[in-house]
Amino acid sequence: MTALRVDRTPTTGDYLEIGASSIEAAVTAERVAASRPAVAAYAHVNLVVPAASSPVELVAYSFPASGFDAAARASRLAAIQGATSVSHSPTNLELGLSAPRDATLASIAPTIKAQALRGQTVSVRVGGTGVLVFEAQDSVVLDDDTGRNDFDARPFVDAWNAAPAMT
């Protein structure tokens, strides 16, 4: 059972930070926080699972207006093989990966798209070889700003565009 007690009324802009020992605990804490009326008064809830506690470092910025689901979305990204870090907020999604091959990147594009929010800046860091950065939309255009890397971003972009539409 997860206990969550809020001892004071927040003022404008205050946020609540919850440290968790595992990704599952962060998702549970997010669900419990969402059910507490006192928590909805906070600007947002930060859920943090440090790298020392989990194979994947997770930071989720969960907002009442977006349904307190950032940790749940981030946990699904953390389950991707090779994930090393995940950060999810209404405006940004960052995923760190060990160095997978181009084909692996293409295979995870639908999972990333399913957890992204329309209009988020998505950043996928791949080992030390590069990064894909783009705005989450149903269709992504590969251009000079999308991929700054030494791997072929085309399979990822094609798989993203072929994945089901964003909700």
Q: Looking at residue 160, what is its pLDDT?
A: 95
Residue 2 is predicted with a pLDDT of 47
Identity (one letter) of the amino acid at 152?
D
- pLDDT tens over the chain, length 167 residues: 344 555 556 666 688 888 899 999 999 988 888 888 877 778 888 899 998 889 999 999 988 777 789 999 999 999 998 899 999 999 999 999 987 665 588 999 999 999 999 999 999 988 877 788 899 999 998 776 565 555 678 888 999 999 999 98
| Domain chopping of the chain, boundaries | 13-90, 91-167
Q: How many CB atoms lie within 10 A of CB 23?
A: 25
Question: How confident is the model at residue 9, as a pLDDT?
Answer: 60
Residue 121 Ramachandran class (φ > 0 left, ψ -120 to 50 alpha, else beta): beta
- Per-residue pLDDT, 141: 84
The confidence score (pLDDT) of residue 101 equals 61
Cβ–Cβ < 8 Å for 53, 20: yes
Give pTM, 2 decimals: 0.85
Instruction: Indicate the SS3 state at residue 5.
Output: coil
CA distances, 32 to each of 45, 46, 155 (Å):
12, 13, 39
pLDDT at 65: 76
